Structure 1
Amino acid sequence: MTPSRPVPPPAHDLVLVGRIGAAHGIKGEVRLVSFTEDPKAIGDYGALQDADGKRRFEIATLRRVKDNIFIARFVGISTRDAAEALNNLELYLPRAALPAAAEGEFYHADLIGLAAVDGAGTEIGRVLNVLNFGGGDILEIAPAGGGETLLLPFTTACVPSVDLAAKRLLIVPPIEIEAVPEGDDLDTFR
């Protein structure tokens, strides 16, 4: 049995730093969502690229709308039609272009592809993705034996150690708690 999605290679060297949104106006401007720690820093790294590295985008102007959302104009994009063609395009930088992560912090790209092992060192699977739906990071792990991916919170309780040099992280799955059907006596289930 194979994992439901392929595991990316461990040498994932691009970091997602932004996403282009809808066109703004008629002169080629777009909404730009920044994922950098300091949102305005997205304009400080030079040319950004698409996922396959075939297209490069240099920010000509950048003005903040709110928090991490900007109105941006890219060099060479001067019409609404050209701007609309970029909608939902994700923008990346090579990992080497970014500063080192602080102690206890990690770029998602550093975690993707790492082996997830238990306390005995047995590989449970590999990190397929790092998700965040607003409540904190969640590791999506493709099981070594195949099947449905596992979702684990990326907390020190569930992931007490990350060893980037060894390309692995230790996982301690949370205790599963079953819900008691409504109207049933809790003592029945003990």
Structure 2
Amino acid sequence: MTTQPAADLVFVAAIAAAHGVRGECKVKSFTGDPAAAFSYGPFLDAAGKEILRAKRWRPIKDGWVVAFDQELSREDAAALRGTQLFVPRSALPQLDDEEYYHSDLIGLTVQGLDGSPMGKLKGVHDFGSGDLLEITGTPERGDWFLPFTRDFVPHISLTDRLITIDPPEDVGSKDEEAGGEG
């Protein structure tokens, strides 16, 4: 078994449930090419310890059914529900310019074009119509979503840990929250 430094890990998949009676698991992949998650090598836990190796996988409606090298009973597979699966960053393909791993964006400061604070990036989600940024806003603004497009997100600096956005005018406005008064 191998161990990687936790800082060098990228979250690529999670076990959603047991599948069938032969120890297979239903897995949700979070990679750009969902099938690629199973070919990056062994899965590691958040501490960098090897926990599972995918042997076979096949797509299903809302994820993948995966058989692992490890012998798992149905009960073993059920106990893995919610397990996050990581791989070393070095196992992932090189990114093109203007491409980012979602895990690298989480926690970055979000600001408006004028430098005004808009919150921190809490998550990147795809509910079926493209990626959305979940932003934890200020106490007045609360949490909110923004489409992850070049129009709304013109600049990202991993070096400065900063995402610059151009949100619609009504996002988080006090007039909107007060019912349109003002």
What TM-score do the two structures reach when normalised by structure 1? 0.72
Within 5 A, what are the aligned runs for 1:1-190?
14-53=9-48, 56-59=51-54, 61-66=55-60, 69-144=63-138, 148-176=142-170
C-alpha change, 1:13 and 1:124, in structure 2 (3 Å) is farther
Identity %: 39
**Partner deviation per Cα, 1:37-68 (whole Å, 9 max, x = no partner):** 33332222111123454562112x21314477
- The amino acid across from 1:175 in the alignment is E
- Report the aligned-residue RMSD: 2.9
Give 1:134 deviation, angstroms.
1.2
CA-CA distance at 1:85 after TM superposition: 0.9
Question: 2-side partners of 1:123 and 1:117: how far apart?
Answer: 5
Q: Which runs of 5+ in 2 are unaligned?
A: 1-5, 177-182
CA drift at 1:135: 1.4
The AA in structure 2 aligned to 1:47 is P
Q: Report SS of the residue matched to 1:70.
A: strand
Point out the structure with max Rg over C-alpha: 1
Separation in 2, partners of 1:79, 1:116 = 45
Code of the aligned partner of 1:99: P
In 2, the alpha carbon distance for the partners of 1:119 and 1:167 equals: 15
Does the 8 A contact of 1:15 with 1:109 survive in 2? yes
**What is the CA–CA distance in structure 1 between the aligned matches of 2:9 and 2:56, rounded to whole Å?**
22
Whole-Å Cα distance in 2 between the matches of residues 124 and 40 of structure 1? 35
Consecutive unaligned residues in structure 1, runs of 5 or more:
1-10, 179-190
Q: The residue matched to 1:71 in structure 2 has which SS?
A: strand
For normalisation by structure 2, the TM-score amounts to: 0.75
Deviation at 1:76? 2.7
SS at match of 1:135: coil
Opposite residue 143 of structure 1, the aligned amino acid is G
